[in-house]
Amino acid sequence: MEYTSLVWHLKSTSLFEDWELEDLAKLSKTTPYRRFAGGDVIYHMDDPADAIYFIRNGLVKISKLFPNGKEAILGVVGQYGGFGELLLTPAEKRPHQAEAIEDTVLISLPRAELEILLRERPALALKFIQLMAQRLFETQSWQAEASAYSAPARLASLLFRFALEFGKTGTDGVRIHLKLTQEDLSRMIGATRETVSHSLNRLKREGAIGRTRAPFIVNTQKLEAFIADDE
């Protein structure tokens, strides 16, 4: 039997990797593709929490907006990653915003369909809980770093994580193919753009990065050493 590309993309996600292709073929009838251009908002804060998303290709920025106009970027999600999992909350409203960083194709799983699946498949419900627990762990880890490390070390830690998740190893180091500006980085580490600029220049002098703008080229060993030496 031949299966559509949508089936194979569902199979590539952590939530559905254990499913049989036949079951995924049935599920795919309720999980359409959605396309967004770079800069498009997928959902705003306080929008109805009506679906969970998986990335077929592209990049998505997750952020929180504050009344004073400031934005805190909570993370970046890449291919086969999922987001929007905090839809099963009493408020049923989005607690953050999702925006496409580049042209992005998503697989959309409606909330109603997800609730049926979680009731019918205990193993899937457990995986879903594990996914939410992992998100909580990542958030807590980042909060701990924010209080324990200086801004340059926080930036080094961020680039190190991006290198592990999105990096491609080449002869000149690990290249991070993320279209992130210094302003984006400042919103991720809780610092000013000027501080990020100074930190990038310092990391370059230390040999931890090869350039101070995207796409960043990094030396992961020197980034680790820089983080370990932070006082």
Q: Any idea which residue has 């970027």 for tokens?
A: 73
Packed helices 220-228 and 151-166: angle between N→C axes, nearest 10 degrees: 150
Pairwise CA distance, residues 100 & 55, whole Å = 10
pTM of the predicted model, to two decimals? 0.84
Residue 231 has what pLDDT? 66
Higher pLDDT, 23 or 74: 23
Flag whether pLDDT at 33 surpasses 80.
yes
DSSP annotation of 16 reads: T
Write down the domain spans for the chain.
Answer: 5-146, 149-228
What pLDDT, in 10s, does the model give residues 120-145? Answer: 999 999 998 888 888 778 777 777 77
Q: Does residue 159 carry a pLDDT above 90?
A: yes
Can you say whether residue 127 is alpha, beta or left, with left for phi > 0 and alpha for psi between -120 and 50 degrees?
alpha
Q: Render pLDDT for 62-116 as a digit per residue (tens, 0 to 9).
A: 998 888 888 888 888 998 989 988 777 666 889 899 999 989 999 999 999 999 9
| Fold match, 5-146 / 149-228 | no
For 149-228, give the CATH class.
mainly alpha
State residue 56's pLDDT score: 94
Question: Can you give the length of the chain in residues?
Answer: 231
Q: How confident is the model at residue 204 (pLDDT cuts 50, 70, 90)?
A: very high
Structure-token match 């090869």, residue found: 210
* DSSP-derived 3-state class of residue 202: helix
pLDDT band at 202 (very low <50, low <70, confident <90, very high): very high
Binned at pLDDT 50, 70 and 90, residue 1 comes out as low
% the chain with pLDDT above 70: 97
Architecture of domain 5-146: Sandwich (2.60)
Burial class of residue 135 (count of CB atoms within 10 Å of its CB; 0-12, 13-18, 19+): middle
Contact 16, 27 (CB under 8 A): yes
